[in-house]
């Protein structure tokens, strides 16, 4: 059997393609697991501080910040599963996050600023 180097410029074999796909999948899984380990917002992650959890929805959580609050009454609405950016959220998750936000705003006194719940 010829080596890849001996075939210079030839298309990869099915076996080589499968091996490349396997390595890519392993690397993608490793990066995802590493991101989940350090994420303080992911419900299933080891860094999530359960004692700060206020409410649990179908796809989102409402919690107190793990760091110093930005303002009095600061809370965090985040998806339960790890997502790199809010632009990558599913429509149902985004809708539930907005419902949490509106519920918090309606619950708070009318003197509260709208920027407190982000």
* Residue 40 lies inside a defined structural domain of this protein: no
pTM: 0.61
**Tokens (6 digits) for 43:** 């419900």
Token pair belonging to 32 = 């995802």
pLDDT at position 103: 85
Q: Pick from 34, 31, 4, 28: which is nearest to 16 by CA?
A: 4
Q: What is the mean pLDDT of residues 30-53?
A: 78
Size of the chain in residues: 118
pLDDT, residue 4, reads 53
Model confidence band, residue 93 (pLDDT cutoffs 50, 70, 90): very high
Identify the residue whose tokens are 């809010």.
86
In a domain, 112, yes or no: yes
Q: Is residue 17 part of a domain?
A: no
User: What mean pLDDT, rounded, does the chain reach?
Assistant: 79
The domain of 57 spans: 50-116
**List of E strands, the chain:** 53-56, 60-63, 76-79
Please, how many CA atoms are within 13 Å of residue 109, restricted to the half-sphere of its CB? 4
User: Domain tally for the chain?
Assistant: 1
Is residue 55 in a domain?
Answer: yes
Mean of pLDDT values over 70-80? 81
Quote the pLDDT of residue 30.
87
């Amino acid at each position: 059997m010829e080596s890849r180097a001996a075939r210079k410029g030839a298309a990869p074999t099915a076996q080589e393609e499968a091996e490349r796909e396997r390595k890519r999948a392993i690397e993608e899984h490793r990066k995802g697991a590493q991101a989940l380990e350090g994420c303080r917002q992911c419900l299933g992650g080891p860094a999530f501080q359960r004692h700060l959890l206020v409410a649990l929805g179908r796809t989102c959580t409402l919690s107190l910040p793990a760091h110093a609050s930005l303002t009095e009454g600061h809370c965090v609405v985040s998806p339960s599963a790890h997502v790199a950016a809010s632009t990558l959220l599913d429509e149902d998750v985004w809708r539930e996050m907005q419902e949490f936000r509106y519920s918090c705003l309606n619950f708070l006194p009318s003197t509260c600023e709208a920027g407190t719940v982000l």
